[in-house]
Amino acid sequence: MVQPLVHLVLYQPVIPQNTGAIARLAACTGACLHLIHPLGFKTDEASVRRAGLDYWEHVDIREHADWNAFLEAESPQRLFLFTKWADKPYDEADYSGPVYLVFGNESLGLPAEIHEQYQGNRLWIPMRSDKVRSLNLAQAASIVAYEALRQQGFGDLKNLASAPRGGIKRPLRTWENQPQLP
């Protein structure tokens, strides 16, 4: 099995829709998704099926009991934290893989001890923070994941350019073939 060059690490995520969107990102890009517990939702088969996440089986998902269990299991050599408290923008980092892209949870971010441990590896995404507090977690992960993939030449994704598109086959829905409202 080919080892992924991009790892998306979610520290104690609490909003299942964000994690679902990031899992779809991982399925689309071949990134590995790491979920660091505790989570604010369930990831058992019934919960995933009920949420309609039909791509979940195509994602390399690794769950870790806590931050230390993640470090022990993965031994990441290149790890970046994404936070509004960083001094360096995300596009100035070198994402030569494999890289671990770490995102804090939606309400609290990452704990101070992780910030202190990786002070030199903190990055931010430029935005109008005088207008809004932050980007959505899934949006932030997408921005950074694709920058890492771009720097890596998109790996085998470019080789898939001639492959059939659409993944799971469903009837094409268009405005023309929708039932008309009375």
* Domains parsed from the chain with CATH numbers: 6-160 (3.40.1280.10)
- Report which secondary-structure segment, H or E, holds 80: strand 79-82
Q: Which two tokens stand for residue 5?
A: 């060059």
The residue whose two tokens read 């598109």 is 165
Helix segments in the chain, DSSP class H: 16-29, 45-50, 67-74, 112-117, 137-151
- pTM equals 0.85
pLDDT in tens, 36-82: 999 988 777 666 665 556 777 889 999 999 999 999 999 999 999 99
Residues in the chain predicted with pLDDT less than 70, given as ranges, are 1-2, 45-53, 159-182
